[in-house]
Amino acid sequence: MNYFKNYPWLSIGWKIMAVGGIVNIFLALATPYFMLFDHPRATYGLMDEIFVGKTWEQINAFSPQLTDWMVLMMIGMCGMHIAFGVMTLAISITAYREGKQWAWVTLLIVNILVLLYNGSLTVIYLKNGLYGFSSGVSVGMYFFIGWITAFVFGLILPAKEVLKSSRR
């Protein structure tokens, strides 16, 4: 018997959430690599320069320790994203795929919190007329819209199926 025949949104939802976890893990591992071994200003882009009013080179000329601190802060944030990605991937490919209500609730709460956090940063950038991707602080309007889209297809549309599921 094909369980997902009766739950088509859940069949799509757990895969979207698993891919989201993989993307978080990949980006969180790649960012420190590029910052430490290739280019330390990898996540300080044009939007940041406009917001701060200083180029990376100007900040570094003022205080090399400040740019080192900025790199370390980003690497620390990547640690949180690795944990978020591993949790999302693990829950998605196990309990959420099986329609467990606790898994859906956990992913819902965690994603709402992350969306609120990233959304507040994005709103600050948008209020300053900065709409692009190129920022180490804000995920950018387009990335944020993509995350909300994945959230809707990965968690909101399967909600009814999960909540009525007898597979707890």
Domain that holds residue 108: 9-164
Total number of domains constituting the chain: 1
Question: For 37-73, what is each residue's pLDDT tens digit?
Answer: 878 777 788 888 888 899 999 999 999 999 999 889 8
Domain membership flag for residue 4: no
For CA atoms 120, 125, 130, 136, the dihedral sign is negative
C-alpha distances in Å from residue 43, one per residue of 58, 71, 138: 16, 9, 10
Domain membership flag for residue 87: yes
pTM for the full model? 0.83
Question: For 28-39, what is each residue's pLDDT tens digit?
Answer: 898 888 888 878
Domain membership flag for residue 86: yes
Which residue did the predictor score with more confidence, 157 or 130? 157
Asked whether the predicted pLDDT for residue 24 surpasses 60, the reply is yes
The per-residue pLDDT for 168 is: 47
Cβ count within 10 A of residue 64: 10
Q: Say if CB 107 and CB 92 are below 8 A apart.
A: yes
Domain membership flag for residue 114: yes
d(CA 106, CA 112): 10
CA angle 14, 19, 24 (to 5 degrees): 125
Domain membership flag for residue 100: yes
Domain membership flag for residue 142: yes
d(CA 81, CA 28): 6
Domain membership flag for residue 3: no
Domain membership flag for residue 21: yes
Region 7-31 average pLDDT: 93
Question: For 159-168, what is each residue's pLDDT tens digit?
Answer: 999 888 755 4
Looking at 9-13, 91-95, 102-106, 129-133, which range is the least confident one? 129-133
Beta carbons within 8 Å of 37's beta carbon, 6+ residues apart:
none
